[in-house]
A = this chain, B = another copy of it.
Amino acid sequence: MRIAVLGTGMVGQALATKLVSLGHEVMMGSRCARNEKAIAWADQAGEGATEGEFGDAAAFGELVLNCTAGTASLDALRAAGEDNLADKVLVDVANPLDFSQGMPPTLEFCNDDSLGERIQAEFPRARVVKTLNTVNCEVMVEPARVPGEHVAFLSGDDETAKGEVAELLESFGWPPGRTVDLGGIRAARGMEMYLPLWLSLYGRLGTGDFNVSLEVGG
């Protein structure tokens, strides 16, 4: 499949590399042409790896992953172009963490809003699925780094899109029983608002290689 990975940071690199290793054609998108990190990535990632501006990548991809910094995601998607996102599954793994006031970061949108909802509202023809934002990028693409039956959450308004993303997650190593569909994109709120707890746990545990399992009674 042709996949656009928007964003050249750690998250974009981890996902793009994993997708190439799974045999997909991946274009890494960045704000400006000839982005050094994107070129370096494409050079070393091997066959199937290319790079371009956000718009080039979004036009190329049959599926688009938003791996930009959450506070820059709406601008990045505007640059990608609404027409280039139309009718495509848009996987949003970003968190709108605002570090401008120091640590701990706050969320740019929360409580009665979320980045996932903002994206769906501004790009109504995109089929937005929020997922994987509750684990770090190493765990996203190699869940077996963490023992146990830990889970990946999904939310989105398009059931078919969520099914396709669950299959993509399965190819990363997340079995179907460990993807938890929380409902419509409004549930992105809870997924993003989990981040402050994640950050506290990261501080407590001293590693990002962790996740939560669900235990259910009765």
Interface residues of A (CB under 8 A from B): 101, 104, 106-107, 110-112, 139, 145-150, 153, 155, 180-183, 186-187, 189-191, 193-201, 203-205, 207, 209-218
A85 to chain B: closest CB distance in Å?
A: 25
21 A-B pairs within 8 Å (CB atoms) are namely A101-B112, A104-B189, A110-B111, A139-B217, A145-B217, A145-B218, A148-B215, A182-B203, A183-B200, A183-B203, A183-B204, A190-B194, A193-B197, A194-B194, A194-B197, A201-B214, A205-B214, A207-B216, A209-B218, A210-B217, A213-B214
Say whether A197 contacts B207, CB under 8 Å: no
Sample of 12 further A-B pairs with CB below 8 A, known A183-B200, A190-B196: A101-B112, A147-B217, A180-B204, A182-B197, A182-B204, A183-B204, A193-B193, A193-B195, A207-B216, A212-B212, A213-B213, A213-B214
Q: A193-B196, A200-B187 are in contact. Are A216 and B212 (CB under 8 A)?
A: no
Say whether B197 contacts A190, CB under 8 Å: yes
Q: A145-B218, A187-B200 are in contact. Are A212 and B209 (CB under 8 A)?
A: no
CA distance A194 to B192 in the complex (A): 9
Say whether B147 contacts A186, CB under 8 Å: no
CA distance A214 to B201 in the complex (A): 9
Residue of B nearest to A150 (CB): B215
CA distance A45 to B213 in the complex (A): 36
A76 to chain B: closest CB distance in Å?
A: 23
